[in-house]
Amino acid sequence: MSGLITPYGIRSAKAAGFGVFALCGVSVLFFKWKKKSMLKKKALEVKQKLMLAIQRQLEQFQNEEADEKERILVMDAVSLIAAAQNGNIDPVIALKAYMYKACSATKNLNCVTGIIETAENVAVRLDASQAKQCLLYGLPVSLKESIETKGMDSTIGLAQFIDSPAKDDAVLVKVLKHCGAVPFVKTNLSQMMFSFESSNPIFGATVNPHNLKFTPGGSSSGEGALIAAGGSLLGFGTDTGGSIRCPAHMCGVYGFKPSLNRISEKGLKGLPGRIGPIARDMDTIVLAMRALLCPLMFELDVDVPPLPFNEKVFGSTRKLRIGYYVDDGYNEPAPSIKRGVIMAKEALEKVGHILVPFTVPRPADAMRLFFAEIFSDGYEGCRNILKYEQIDPILQRTYMISKLPEKLRWIISALMGLKWSRIAQSFYLYGGGDKSVLRLRKLQAEAYAYKQDFHNAWLNEKLDAVVCPPFVVAAGPLRCLENTPVVMGYTGLYNFLNFPAGIVPVTKVEQSDIDALRNYRGHYGDPWDKHIKKTSELSLGMPVGVQCVALPFQDEMSLRVMKEVQSALS
């Protein structure tokens, strides 16, 4: 009998196997719980340390050089730099003034995530004998949290990156210091920079200075809010699908997304994205681009083409032929957004430019291809990173959809498509669809063909630039933007095409815009259209911008049109 397995023995073996399986399952769950608990505790400690650091800064600088601080804080960036270059302002005092202002602002807005402790040393070491050669001399500059600064974390809202300080400055930071700027604070973002909202589980949500119950947009949320609140004159964000332009528009400030590799992205944590400036006036945006496009940038990053700032294009007085559109035919913007474009169009016409209607070719195809590109791995990389993390509520929907089995997601998408074709397409793409190399090559071929079509439409109209909506809505209540596909079209298109684009504030939402929503239907009559209408009904008094676009690597043309809009509306 010793070599036989009895029925009792089989049952015992099965029970033992089930017990081992259950024990392994419990062990895995316990490990995940333990890991998440540890990360949650680390996140809480970081937030507490930040609040203490901010309070120390406020106490240290509250009464120091009060009159001088007030004088400094009313200056624009160009005036402040000139005063510092001429020796009329001490860069250290300028730093302290803005450190105090930024820390005061974050008490209400929750926009600052870190104090750059080396900032004062940088200000002290500025060489006054070289001041005239440093275009940003003595200017305090804020940085999005994802831009690496030596000795500081760039968590991108993930606790696993706490206590992982950067070993070196990003190329951008090195060049800023070379130009005489003083990086002094880092600012908040949405978790993984994967949303137009403003929150993450470490630092919480940033709010809009114009309404503390509203979103400032994202993912460069802290930059938009801090600049708008006067806590910084110049900041830098990143833009993968609109993450500079969204907060610039929603906070009523200027923001610029350059062409790919016009500014180095070396030292950027997380999603690749164009690094660009955010400021309270157009002159500061131009000054920042002029300063950064220097030999040191080209030396430190060989992927950046050695193209200095093109003064001839920016300074030209030639009258331009500019296309415009108020609606791309995919997402109908709120009335206030359309009115902003018309204001810019009419202002440009009054100063002699020629404005012609422009039609976006096949906008639904553009969005399908752009989302297929973003989710080409089926969100798998993001799911792996989020495995032990607290997932911010703004990412929960995307995360859960991406976890659905492929066949189930296809079935749900097919059923949705019977009534809501636009939403069905987005729902399916969250999972990446077919992830084969063959499909990827097909998508690349389709993307190339679309870009050719868009370029040909531009050339057929002999355009220098285009002015168009910056977004489908103005700022609304917190979490109104967490469903990214609803609102990405007007910014994401120009990431997909790699066209430089910037935001100029032109107006605010008026009661007439709210009243006009009675006739708003959208193009599809689906829940996205209803959401746009509902959000817009609450946006009275919020800022409205316009987007100015040029062809790839003609960044200076985009900047020139931005400047023309600002001047024409002044």
CA distances to 313, 321, 464 from 308, rounded to whole Å, are 12, 25, 20
- Which residue, 461, 478, 544, 564, is CA-closest to 250? 544
Which stretches does DSSP call E strand in 486-530? 501-508
Which stretches does DSSP call E strand in 220-332? 234-239, 254-257, 274-279, 321-324
CA distances to 35, 46, 47, 147, 324 from 39, rounded to whole Å, are 6, 11, 13, 22, 48
Long-range contacts (CB closer than 8 Å, 24 or more residues apart) made by 440-447: 440/376, 443/369, 443/372, 443/373, 443/376, 446/365, 446/369, 447/369, 447/373, 447/496
Catalytic, out of 69, 101, 144, 338: 144
Beta bridge partners of 508: 543
Two tokens at 471?
């977004």
For residues 267 and 171, the answer to whether their CB atoms sit within 8 Å is: yes
- Which residue, 419, 531, 534, 538, is CA-closest to 486? 531
Query: What is the bridge-based pairing of β-strands 543-549 and 465-468?
Result: antiparallel
Angle in degrees, CA 136, 78, 60, rounded to 5: 70
Catalytic, out of 198, 243, 259, 536: 243
Two tokens at 518?
């009675």
Catalytic, out of 219, 221, 232, 259: 219
Angle in degrees, CA 144, 222, 234, rounded to 5: 65
| Cα distance between residue 568 and residue 76, in whole Å | 20
Query: What is the bridge-based pairing of β-strands 274-279 and 234-239?
Result: antiparallel
- Verify whether residue 243 is a known catalytic residue: yes
| Cα distance between residue 412 and residue 400, in whole Å | 14
Note the residue count of the chain. Answer: 570
Beta bridge partners of 142: 185, 235
For residues 482 and 394, the answer to whether their CB atoms sit within 8 Å is: yes
| Residue given tokens 């400036």 in the structure block | 277
For residues 542 and 210, the answer to whether their CB atoms sit within 8 Å is: yes
DSSP-based three-state secondary structure for 165: coil
| Cα distance between residue 551 and residue 247, in whole Å | 23
State the DSSP H helix or E strand holding residue 211, giving kind and residue range, or none if neither. Answer: none
ω into 413 cis (within 30 of 0): no
ω into 570 cis (within 30 of 0): no
For residues 171 and 301, the answer to whether their CB atoms sit within 8 Å is: yes
- Verify whether residue 219 is a known catalytic residue: yes
| Cα distance between residue 395 and residue 398, in whole Å | 5
Two tokens at 198?
């403003």
Two tokens at 513?
């815009």
Two tokens at 64?
């120091």
Identity of the amino acid at 102:
A
Q: Catalytic residue numbers?
A: 144, 219, 243
